[in-house]
Homo-oligomer: A and B are copies of this chain.
Amino acid sequence: MRDLITLHEDRLFPVEPAAREVARRLYNEIKDRPIISPHGHTNPSWFADNENFPNPAELLIIPDHYVFRMLYSQGIPLEALGIPHAGGPSDEAVKPDPREIWRLFARHFYLFRGTPSSMWLNWVFREVFGLEQRLSEETADTYYDRIDQLVQTDEFKPRALMDRFNIEVIATTEDPLDPLDHHAKLKSEGWGHRVLTAYRPDNVVDPEYENFSQNLDRLGEMSGFDTRQYDGYLNALAERRVHFKNHGATSSDHGHPTAFTADLSHTEAKDLFARVRHGKATPEDAELFRGHMLTEMARMSVADGLVMQIHPGSYRNHNGLILSKFGRDKGADIPTATDYVRALKPLLNKYGNNPAFSLIIFTLDETSYSRELAPLAGHYPCLKLGPAWWFHDSPEGMRRFREQVTETAGFYNTVGFNDDTRAFLSIPARHDVARRCDCAFLARLVVEHRLDEDEALQVATDLTYNLVKQAYKL
């Protein structure tokens, strides 16, 4: 009994019986809605090629920085978890056996107590793979064998899981230099409406990005515009946006260190471009250029209708040693205090009242919810708030988001849930957590007589499905 995975039907609902009843009723009405996943990082080749996933370690541990960062924080070397060194071929001599990685993970699974990772993973273990005992040192091999066997079957191929998971549509994220071959294949095979791309130009608008200058050369080749000149560069970016639109994109995504925007004159922008074009930007130049390019992207958004998303506030690759040994995205990105009010003013001044413009803002700095973002979203017609993001994509994080945003911005200036993940198997669990948390929040409003239950049900449906489709033009 005590060694079974608990996946209680009332999990995440308020414990008080009257509130729990309301939460249950709301949840039952929306739990079977299809999943709309408008923002995420799954690999489009999975859906295009529809091949089987690899072994349990390569499926569930090695690609998931939520998982290996926690293990690393308790002294487990990344090498022991099979995280490959950056650059150069991986050294097979030191690469650990996947089963050994899995055992190491199993032994330390208690570290995830109280974290959303444990909820997501337990859902995957039980609902996807039918495992009933908790993961532990004792059950590690049973887990490994079962998962390893199942992922080799047809039922566990990506497209089959798309159906099983009831995913109506999923967006991946590509940069403008991506040829979008996988999406072309998906389109040709009738899957284009279910797997979309999204346009993420960080590597060609951020002068501090690795190989920025070469990236712009390549952008020129791909688009047919002369990216040695500012005007050609802008044309190239716009051309790629249209190319992405043709492969299903309805949104762009911008992962800048800050929310800073600028609105330079054409002459100033040309001069700045000339300075940054060849990788010789000062940090101030780089920040100014990124800020100006956000405003340029807003301009293009007005023209081509792609919804703009800004995800600021992460200090990327904080751990120098890890960056040099293992490369980017190894769980060492740390949020920082982020201003939106002054930062977004140039962009909002120019396009904030334009009915053709849609902007979705995310934050890693929860202090901005009630202080800055809800007041901004409760005023500017272009602006909607993205859901609780990254570290805050969790029951407590979602609760804080709703508690701090709703009273000023309402529900209708938010856009439903994003899973924002590359952990494909956990997508239903993540959406389920969001649905449960929204129902729990709404149930509290109902039992405190702040909202009637029929209204709460309408809101739950909108948050789960309607607002997502509207906000992302799906």
Q: Closest Cβ of chain B: how far from A355's Cβ, in Å? A: 6
Q: Closest Cβ of chain B: how far from A104's Cβ, in Å? A: 15
- When C-beta atoms are compared, the residue in chain B nearest to A119 turns out to be B450
Within 8 A of B (CB), among A66-117: 69-70, 72-75, 110-116
Q: Could you name 22 residue pairs across A and B whose Cβ atoms are closer than 8 Å?
A: A7-B449, A11-B449, A11-B450, A15-B19, A69-B378, A70-B410, A111-B410, A113-B411, A113-B459, A114-B406, A114-B451, A318-B345, A319-B352, A319-B379, A331-B378, A331-B379, A332-B379, A336-B342, A337-B337, A337-B367, A364-B371, A370-B392
A409 interface hit (Cβ, 8 Å): yes
User: Are A407 and B411 in contact, CB atoms less than 8 angstroms apart?
Assistant: no
Q: Closest Cβ of chain B: how far from A59's Cβ, in Å? A: 22
Q: A14-B448, A319-B353, A336-B372 known; 14 other A-B pairs, CB under 8 Å?
A: A8-B449, A15-B16, A69-B378, A110-B455, A111-B412, A115-B408, A315-B341, A319-B352, A331-B378, A335-B341, A335-B372, A336-B341, A395-B450, A396-B406
CA distance A69 to B454 in the complex (A): 25
Q: Closest Cβ of chain B: how far from A333's Cβ, in Å? A: 8
User: Are A370 and B378 in contact, CB atoms less than 8 angstroms apart?
Assistant: no
For A11, give its contact among B315, B377, B413, B448 (CB under 8 Å).
B448
Copies per complex? 3
- Known A110-B455, A319-B352, A379-B72; judge A372-B6 contact (CB<8 A): no
User: Are B371 and A367 in contact, CB atoms less than 8 angstroms apart?
Assistant: yes
- When C-beta atoms are compared, the residue in chain B nearest to A367 turns out to be B367
A339 interface hit (Cβ, 8 Å): yes
For A339, give its contact among B113, B337, B374, B411 (CB under 8 Å).
B337
Q: In the complex, what residues of B have CB within 8 A of residue A11's CB?
A: 448-450
User: Are A348 and B319 in contact, CB atoms less than 8 angstroms apart?
Assistant: yes
Q: Closest Cβ of chain B: how far from A341's Cβ, in Å? A: 5
Which of A114, A332, A364, A447 has the largest number of chain B CB atoms within 10 A? A114
- When C-beta atoms are compared, the residue in chain B nearest to A355 turns out to be B75
A320 interface hit (Cβ, 8 Å): yes
Q: Closest Cβ of chain B: how far from A22's Cβ, in Å? A: 9
CA distance A444 to B412 in the complex (A): 30
User: Are A15 and B392 in contact, CB atoms less than 8 angstroms apart?
Assistant: no
- When C-beta atoms are compared, the residue in chain B nearest to A353 turns out to be B321
Q: Closest Cβ of chain B: how far from A379's Cβ, in Å? A: 5
CA distance A403 to B397 in the complex (A): 9
A18 interface hit (Cβ, 8 Å): yes
Q: In the complex, what residues of B have CB within 8 A of residue A169's CB?
A: none
A295 interface hit (Cβ, 8 Å): no
For A391, give its contact among B334, B370, B410 (CB under 8 Å).
B370
User: Are B374 and A114 in contact, CB atoms less than 8 angstroms apart?
Assistant: no
Within 8 A of B (CB), among A388-407: 391-392, 394-397, 403-404, 406-407
User: Are B391 and A408 in contact, CB atoms less than 8 angstroms apart?
Assistant: yes
A233 interface hit (Cβ, 8 Å): no
CA distance A443 to B16 in the complex (A): 13
CA distance A349 to B322 in the complex (A): 10
Mark contacts of A8-32 with chain B using CB atoms, 8 A cut-off: 1 yes-contact digit, 0 otherwise: 1011111110110000000000000
CA distance A342 to B62 in the complex (A): 28
For A12, give its contact among B321, B342, B383, B449 (CB under 8 Å).
B449
- Known A367-B371, A408-B115; judge A378-B450 contact (CB<8 A): no
Q: Closest Cβ of chain B: how far from A53's Cβ, in Å? A: 26
- When C-beta atoms are compared, the residue in chain B nearest to A412 turns out to be B111
A381 interface hit (Cβ, 8 Å): yes
- When C-beta atoms are compared, the residue in chain B nearest to A458 turns out to be B110
Q: Closest Cβ of chain B: how far from A175's Cβ, in Å? A: 25
Q: Closest Cβ of chain B: how far from A118's Cβ, in Å? A: 8
Q: In the complex, what residues of B have CB within 8 A of residue A409's CB?
A: 73
A269 interface hit (Cβ, 8 Å): no
